[in-house]
Structure 1
């Protein structure tokens, strides 16, 4: 009778795979990391960042787009940008920058990070800084300071009409401002509104250019920026919005010869299940092929392509490990496995937007399994996890008071720390868990370093004013 947890996984997925494996003792490894050893060294709850996966995904995307361009003889360049909002941590950004990429920013403090990277020699004037977002005064001022310092590849992406006037007032008269305009795309029908609040409407972009930019010698419109919330998916909605974007690009190009960059945003998906299957190479080829054809129809030069990958860059580098503290049987059908932390504070996406991650036990894969619910430690009914991406259920090795059970959530590297308020107040004063950085040395050996300790009561009370 096949009733072990490993039997359940074997009959459901193609397992093991390149990221996960299980040894004879029934213990899980991730990217060659023995997670039981990590728990012995650092304990739980534990957040980790595995840096090599960042460089891996950047290299993969570069290959997909460059190969796609070569296949159709595309006569322009591909430029990979990392969206810092996905994770601002220094070790994340530094790892990404090892791969000759560029940055996309969202707020004033992002520019302070850029300035720090410049001072340390990690960014040069050849790097593109794509400045997105609705821009308050400090953000505009910081962007202007970068341009005035000679960083000519700083591209403010206009989100509204007023930002242009503020920029021209602050940038020195002898400096050229390379601009981008963000398209306010139509949202997918499931949204409660029709058009994105970000950017300028399709029909207003050409008139705005003619009125405010075309005759000003200090201004050059270099980039058209396109992004949709659902990300890059092989759906009718995505292709329809991309075609609308290209139509605007073609109209602008006829009257704006300096326009030579098309930013197709980001949104390559991250694996959230062992059954995940997405043809990245196909999508890159289809996107580049469509742009090539539409440019040929109008006999215009192909634009340089920019992508802004945030979650795709860093998502698959992150993980969160918990201990099961106890099991509560609230009725004859539901068993609650209680973790030693909170989903609301450590994985806020699971309750805020019902996001699902790869969830697997770390040990006891050779034991029988049972269906359970997972509960967090806060006094909040939303602090739970009740299903996986591939099934409306959770199965784990049977609870045994005498045999500890550890579980891991994987590919959690994007947004969780910042949305959860890293280093700040946590719901019900649940402390922020320790955070470990995992890397490999020149010989390929695994190295670990404690980035931050578990939050102490003194640190929490200081924030609260006690």
Structure 2
């Protein structure tokens, strides 16, 4: 009878996989000895495997290059990184090793861009696409960047007032993009995105505020839908609506030469994950080609803004099971040595699922459990593994420590969780490890941040006197 954890995984999924394997009854991730990491640094811990960032960037570049050649597409492709997914310097340094561009969301992003320029990571040839609703400081910072010579900074217009506000700050002529306010999926609570300008209003907006304006040149049309790039009737319908706007606008605006299709590539959230990236890109390129051919207009250069896809699969979190609570005859609660609400907030806020696996004891018998965090909040739990609607782990034994890992957690979790700040119930933020490879391909590790101490939290709370 197959009752071991390894049997369960092997019968349920194809295993091993590209990034996951077993070595001496212990899980490895991209060749990283995860138990070795625990033994060196302790648990709980978070880690970032930097090479995965470059791997995903270059995978996407290759997919687009293949599609462009296959479809004889006459435009070029530009990969942008969406900084809000992770603003950390180590992430941006890795991203910018790959000849890519940047998409920003707020005023302080521009300060980061300027620091990266001083270090030579970004040049005036790097496109800086400025999205988001632009308050005074964001407008000022965009103007400063452009006035200092970064003419490839392109503010993406989000509302009708922004052109005039930007024109007051920027010396001379500048390029802009316009964001389409896409219609949301029917199950959403609202019909139209709050971001951008409606489909039907784009051309009238151009005629009224951009055409004949000597200071402004329209370069880009921006399109993005909240559900991301998925093979659904909804996505293809919204893309076709966007392309209709593009060809209408191109006929009256010769300077328009770029289409930004946003981000939204999914990342692996289960060992059963299956997504045909190449097919989706082929079909997108084909649809753009066809729409432009039918309208007899040149095809646009294509920009993407991949955030989660760029950094998501680089991150992971490791916890120890501290204790098991048998709450009734059916429910066993495995208590982790941290909090889901603070360290993986998307599991709590939007029911996001990540790849979750035991780190050790794969040859032990398994049991069905629920996972609970340390806070006294009833919502601090994780209880559903993708495609199984249950969590199975090696049986809890007090004399045999059990460690579990959550993988592909590299996007948004630190910023949403408030990295370096207060944590719910004052549960300390775990230590964070950076993992890289040297020129010979050997793994290297570096402690990026220590686990929070009581002094750190007391300082924030104002208890800094005698």
Q: Which TM-score applies when normalising by structure 2? A: 0.99
Please say if 1:227 is aligned against 2:227: no
How many Å separate the matches in 1 of 2:159 and 2:330? 54
**Structure 1 segments (4+ residues) deviating >4 Å:** none
Deviations 1:292-321 (A, max 9, x none): 111111111110000000000000000000
- Partner SS, residue 91 of structure 2: helix
Please say if 1:310 is aligned against 2:307: yes
Following TM superposition, by how much is the alpha carbon of 1:141 offset from its aligned partner in structure 2, in angstroms?
A: 0.5
Alignment of 1:243-392 (within 5 A): 243-392=240-389
Alignment of 1:187-202 (within 5 A): 187-202=184-199
From 203, 206, 229, the equivalent of 1:206 is 203
> Which residue matches 2:166?
167
- Partner SS, residue 262 of structure 1: strand
> Which residue matches 1:19?
19
How many Å separate the matches in 2 of 1:436 and 1:42? 8
Alignment of 1:99-114 (within 5 A): 99-114=98-113
- Partner SS, residue 372 of structure 1: strand
RMSD between aligned alpha carbons? Answer: 0.5
Moved more, 65-74 or 255-264: 65-74
> Which residue matches 2:96?
97
Please say if 1:5 is aligned against 2:5: yes
Deviations 1:326-355 (A, max 9, x none): 000010100000000000000000010000
How many Å separate the matches in 2 of 1:177 and 1:461? 47
Structure 2 segments unaligned to the other structure (5+ residues): none
How many Å separate the matches in 2 of 1:287 and 1:402? 55
> Which residue matches 2:87?
88
How many Å separate the matches in 1 of 2:196 and 2:363? 53
How many Å separate the matches in 1 of 2:216 and 2:283? 33
- Partner SS, residue 152 of structure 1: coil
How many Å separate the matches in 2 of 1:290 and 1:299? 14
> Which residue matches 1:152?
151
How many Å separate the matches in 2 of 1:390 and 1:109? 40
- Partner SS, residue 408 of structure 1: strand
Please say if 1:402 is aligned against 2:432: no
- Partner SS, residue 197 of structure 2: coil
> Which residue matches 1:133?
132
How many Å separate the matches in 1 of 2:296 and 2:248? 12
Deviations 1:43-86 (A, max 9, x none): 01100000000000000000101110111111111000000000
How many Å separate the matches in 2 of 1:265 and 1:176? 25
Following TM superposition, by how much is the alpha carbon of 1:217 offset from its aligned partner in structure 2, in angstroms?
A: 1.5
How many Å separate the matches in 2 of 1:33 and 1:390? 26
> Which residue matches 1:51?
50
Please say if 1:456 is aligned against 2:453: yes
- Partner SS, residue 183 of structure 1: strand
Following TM superposition, by how much is the alpha carbon of 1:227 offset from its aligned partner in structure 2, in angstroms?
A: 0.3
Structure 1 segments unaligned to the other structure (5+ residues): none
Following TM superposition, by how much is the alpha carbon of 1:453 offset from its aligned partner in structure 2, in angstroms?
A: 0.2
- Partner SS, residue 98 of structure 1: helix
How many Å separate the matches in 2 of 1:317 and 1:114? 22
How many Å separate the matches in 1 of 2:429 and 2:194? 33
How many Å separate the matches in 2 of 1:46 and 1:176? 49
> Which residue matches 2:214?
217
> Which residue matches 2:33?
34
How many Å separate the matches in 1 of 2:18 and 2:267? 15
Please say if 1:238 is aligned against 2:235: yes
How many Å separate the matches in 2 of 1:154 and 1:390? 43
How many Å separate the matches in 1 of 2:170 and 2:125? 19
Following TM superposition, by how much is the alpha carbon of 1:199 offset from its aligned partner in structure 2, in angstroms?
A: 0.4
How many Å separate the matches in 2 of 1:247 and 1:400? 62
From 440, 443, 447, the equivalent of 1:443 is 440
